[in-house]
Structure 1
Amino acid sequence: MPVPPGPSPLESSPPLAVAQPDPTLQRVLSGPHGLGTAGLRLGSLTEPPAAPGPADVAAPEVPAEPAEPAAVAAPEPPAEAEAPVAEGRPIPGLYHHPIAPPDPARVEEVSRRIKAWAVDEAQVYPPEWEEQFDGFSVGRYMVACHPDAPTIDHLMAATRLMVAENVLDDCYCEDHGGSPVGLGSRLLLAHTALDPLHTSEEYAPPWVDSLRSDAPRRAYRSAMEYFLQHASASQADRYRHDMGRLHMGYLAEAAWAQEEHVPEVWEYLAMRQFNNFRPCPTITDTVGGYELPADLHALPAMQRVIALAGNATTIVNDLYSYTKELDSPGKHLNLPVVIAEREGVSDRDAYLKAIEVHNDLMHAFEGEAAALAAACPVPSVQRFLRGVAVWVDGNHYWHQTNTYRYSLPDFW
């Protein structure tokens, strides 16, 4: 930039003030603190981990089951992670593990199949939603989250469920006709597409007809039918349970919307433990072609690990979707918005504090997972913990790189 005319700045200007470090920003960027941080190996936020794997959870190599015939051969996972893709900017100070880009052949095939299912088979997206569907990049999302899936069919089981969950969220809760009014009834009836109604012979036919009555129910029914081809009875019941949790979270948020109530921060976090991504990582064994036995899944330590993973990944969504939600009609609750209103801080400071909350949850997740892996050296436990950690990292990768949907606030 040209220097303006006049006396030399060295002769006429007072000494420049040294900018003082912003204590909030410094605290976020300085590294971990809080639950689960003891003993963590911390690498650079911008470099891939030194060792393979997204988290410090030791897991033995578990051979994949023989691959079924598929349109695209299932590649072996890479021995070492490559540098992350350049698309998208990670949130400064957000604790995460960069991953190698997902296999492009698998991404292309899953994207092709899921669009055919969503548009033609289940008929859940009208033509005018095509751009939004493509921009969601669900194929890239699921391939990144499930690199150990033995076949494309296993990947599709997760991808259909992901799309079905988003169809219901859009149509019942969000921007494609959603409303908090009457949400409980809609959710209950949609849940019967996952958890079948057992009723009298006279009243069964109208229930069956109802499963075809709207896009969410068609999506739920079809996606669940495909999922049952790969899931055991225990895995299917686990998924239904977690979807019940999700629907309960939707209802709490809807009640607050009807009352125009902003919850306390702890109340919001309680809601987010239910209205979150938990149904996705909890099926990582089904998608991987193996099973974590029900008694091991039900261990309190395992339930804590899964809950922390779901909570951390959901705050990732709050942070990356922050500007998108601010630009949407109405008031959208997310962690920065709730912190700003309830704790009386600026939008910027609230956002930076939300990053700290996420980081505490991530360190707690990794610490608890490492402790459980050491205490329970069972191959299925080790592999499941690794799978959940991979899902956590794939979820962050998708949020970071999905610039069609997300952009960061100007807080740095």
Structure 2
Amino acid sequence: MPPPEPTPPQSGLPEAVSRFGAQVLADAAARARDIGAVTGGAPRAVASPVAEAPAVEAPVADAPAVDAPAVDVPAERPDLERLLRGPSGLGTAGLRLTPREEPASSNQEPASSDPAPDSAPAPAPDPTPSAPKGRPVPGLYHHPAPDPDPVRVAEVSRRIKDWALDEVDLYPDDWEEEFDGFSVGSYMVGCHPDAPTVDHVMIATRLMVAENALDDCYCEDHGGSPVGLGSRLLLAHTTLDPLYTTREYQPQWAESLYADAPRRAYRSAMEYFVQASSASQADRYRHDMARLHMGYLAEAAWSEHDHVPEVWEYLAMRQFNNFRPCPTITDTVGGYELPADLHALPDLQKVIALAGNATTIVNDLYSYTKELDAPGRHLNLPVVIAEREDLSDKDAYLKSVEVHNELMHTFETEAAALAAACPLPNVQRFLRGVAAWVDGNHQWHQNNTYRYSLPDFW
């Protein structure tokens, strides 16, 4: 007899909305995380969310059935457009990622784009000429994102380099050009437009740099190897998820946290993150980092045996070895908290997973020529499709664009449906934060011409 079909995950939305209804809405201001005590920034006023909860439109009548084999996404999504635009009622400005354009008024005071954490003057934009903007992958479904604030980018870039050099001794002198070329300040400012201060952006920036350092030093270009990766990853993970052992052996573990650049960076970045986050936000991040490390191990196993996985297997690996830890902390970086019961909803986890999957295929597409030029065979979606489906390099690349586009459309459909089903302000804001991260991630890949160039397929 055929094997039974897996039981579909049950949505907890009706129960969650009921439990988190009026009480959670009334308590949303208290739940908002203000990290002024950590960073020295002034507390921010939080508008009462009870009277200002955004109205939610009903799902569109022609939404696909749950068991439909494919999702047909219309070109225009009014529900998604409304989700990304955010609430527009009186007093809801704090729930929007970016301010709506208002009519010019002679009585209107200009708003400050970045509350300064102290009385120091804002830094001047970096005078270095910026790299030319790249072109997007032809046919790639994406949303253009606003250019990140140059003043904020300059300050984040200055602070992260000071941290990398002075606090964690992250890289030798001959890596400086590559570190600068990564443009992590532009990346993180663009991905977190709702971060209230530079200090909040720095929470994500340190974690991003630490993750990238581990990937380079353990897995990729700078001495990485699949051989012995599991033990290195396990020990590095204890910088995020501390070891509790006997008094005899605790000092040896504590000393190991400084043994190499990735562990020093992980330890320091996590310390900053824990100071700014709640216990559940920190544990959520540890969980997603464990997922990431498991994905690294799968790819390393294939590399050791020179094995090219099936396309579906590769995509399964990429759901773990992907950007998921980044958008999952969007509320911490935004200065508020999405409660653990809401974050754990299967519907929200699906949205986060789809966002991570789509943004990681973006990386596969933009880094394609870079990886072809590197020694050895680097697995990415076009390479796997070409090998497993016997397609030309060009056809495999174009099919990879189609895979990305379907993931993006599904992400947007699921996010819009969740926004309609769960009209809580912090859920709405979190979904907009994840969408902004998706857009900012693409913009950084497109415009980082120092690292990436497109293949000549058009």
Query: What TM-score do the two structures reach when normalised by structure 2?
Result: 0.76
Structure-1 residue corresponding to 2:281: 235
Structure-1 residue corresponding to 2:117: 69
SS of residue in 2 equivalent to 1:202: coil
8 Å contact kept, 1:149–1:289: yes
- Is 2:337 aligned against 1:291? yes
| Aligned pair partner of 2:324 in 268, 271, 278 | 278
| Aligned pair partner of 1:260 in 300, 306, 315 | 306
Q: Assess, with a 3 A threshold, how the Cα gap between structure 1 residues 215 and 269 changes in structure 2: closer, same or farther.
A: same
SS of residue in 2 equivalent to 1:383: helix
8 Å contact kept, 1:62–1:383: no
8 Å contact kept, 2:132–2:449: no
**Aligned residue identity for 2:215:** D
**Aligned residue identity for 1:270:** A
8 Å contact kept, 1:35–1:360: no
8 Å contact kept, 2:203–2:272: yes
Question: After TM superposition, where is structure 1 displaced by more than 2 Å over at least 4 residues in a row?
Answer: 34-40, 53-62, 64-68, 70-74
Distance of 2:380 and 2:93 partners within structure 1: 39
| Aligned pair partner of 2:389 in 325, 337, 343 | 343
Distance of 2:423 and 2:306 partners within structure 1: 48
Distance of 2:318 and 2:121 partners within structure 1: 37
| Aligned pair partner of 1:59 in 86, 91, 98 | 86
- Is 2:313 aligned against 1:313? no
Structure-2 residue corresponding to 1:213: 259
SS of residue in 2 equivalent to 1:364: helix
Cα distance, 1:196 vs structure 2: 0.4
- Is 2:353 aligned against 1:353? no
- Is 2:250 aligned against 1:204? yes
| Aligned pair partner of 1:388 in 434, 445, 451 | 434
Gaps of 5+ in 2: 1-68, 97-113, 124-130
| Aligned pair partner of 1:184 in 230, 244, 260 | 230
| RMSD across aligned positions (CA) | 2.1
8 Å contact kept, 2:83–2:419: no
8 Å contact kept, 1:37–1:367: no
8 Å contact kept, 1:64–1:150: no
Distance of 2:82 and 2:296 partners within structure 1: 30
Cα distance, 1:228 vs structure 2: 1.1
Structure-2 residue corresponding to 1:134: 180
SS of residue in 1 equivalent to 2:224: coil
SS of residue in 1 equivalent to 2:142: coil
Structure-2 residue corresponding to 1:8: none
Gaps of 5+ in 1: 1-33, 43-49, 75-84
Cα distance, 1:39 vs structure 2: 4.2
8 Å contact kept, 1:256–1:263: yes
Query: What TM-score do the two structures reach when normalised by structure 1?
Result: 0.84
Cα distance, 1:253 vs structure 2: 0.2
Number of residue-to-residue matches in the alignment: 361
SS of residue in 1 equivalent to 2:210: helix
SS of residue in 2 equivalent to 1:237: helix
| Aligned pair partner of 1:102 in 125, 148, 165 | 148
Cα distance, 1:68 vs structure 2: 6.4
8 Å contact kept, 2:338–2:427: yes
SS of residue in 1 equivalent to 2:275: coil
